[in-house]
Amino acid sequence: MMDDSCCIAGVDEVGRGPLAGPVVAAAVILDPARPIAGLADSKQLTAHQRERLRLEIEDKALSFALGRAEVEEIDALNILQASLLAMERAVAALNVQPERALIDGSYCPRLPCAAQAIIGGDAKIPAISAASIIAKVARDREMAILDSIYPEYGFCRHKGYPTRAHLEALRCLGPSPAHRRSFAPVRALGARAWGPGIRD
């Protein structure tokens, strides 16, 4: 019979702060028999380290899954509720349903299992660290796709975060369809025509 520790999922999201793109969450159930060295908060790792660990997590984890909330959902619900929805979707997509979920942050999504929110959990709990890595790599890939569609905004460089270059592009071009219109820096430009990414 599987040990209870095998049924604990770590859950984290990436993308609450950006002005554009989806919020992406991941849920990971690690295998205690196959430990992974070097797990840490994804923000503290290089892109190369994240990619190496992603491959190892996907190879060794008992289960992992992604969930997401789109820009339209973020604008309709607000970013907190959209982040919780993405987490719910990630846990629901696991092919091994956990008995307990450990969530990075202050809030728990609605889940069919027990859940505990842990502030700074992505730096403390290996399963949450693994989820943060899976989610970060997935979202960065999403932003690379958006960069190919709307190259004028530089999404590959800043991943949608409000850097000086991104804000300057917004001022010059107006928002694209990938931008979150409910976010203040984007909303401030709402009276302008939408940017060059618009397609009829």
For 132-191, how does the pLDDT look when each residue is reduced to its tens digit (9 = 90+)? Answer: 999 999 999 999 999 999 999 999 999 999 999 999 999 999 999 999 999 999 998 764
Domain membership flag for residue 197: no
* 83 and 137 assigned to the same domain: yes
Strand order of the sheet with strand 8-14?
63-69, 23-29, 8-14, 100-104, 114-118
- Give pLDDT, residue 189: 78
Task: Look at the chain and report how many structural domains it folds into.
Answer: 2
* 141 and 154 assigned to the same domain: no
* 143 and 177 assigned to the same domain: no
- Give pLDDT, residue 109: 97
Scanning the structure block, which residue is given the tokens 């929110």? 117
Closest residue by Cα to residue 159 from 170, 171, 173, 145: 145
Domain that includes residue 171, residue range: 150-187
* 37 and 123 assigned to the same domain: yes
* 114 and 38 assigned to the same domain: yes
* 133 and 158 assigned to the same domain: no
Helices within 62-175 (DSSP H only): 71-77, 79-92, 126-149, 155-158, 164-173
* 66 and 36 assigned to the same domain: yes
* 98 and 164 assigned to the same domain: no
Structural contact between residues 69 and 87, judged by C-beta atoms closer than 8 angstroms: no
Q: What residues in the chain have per-residue pLDDT under 50?
A: 1-5, 191, 193-200
- Give pLDDT, residue 188: 86
Q: Which residues, 6+ apart, have CB-to-CB distance to 162 below 8 Å?
A: 17, 18, 19, 185
pTM above the 0.85 mark?
A: yes
* 101 and 54 assigned to the same domain: yes
What's the mean pLDDT when you consider all of the chain? 92
Domain membership flag for residue 196: no
Scanning the structure block, which residue is given the tokens 């923000």? 43
* 125 and 52 assigned to the same domain: yes
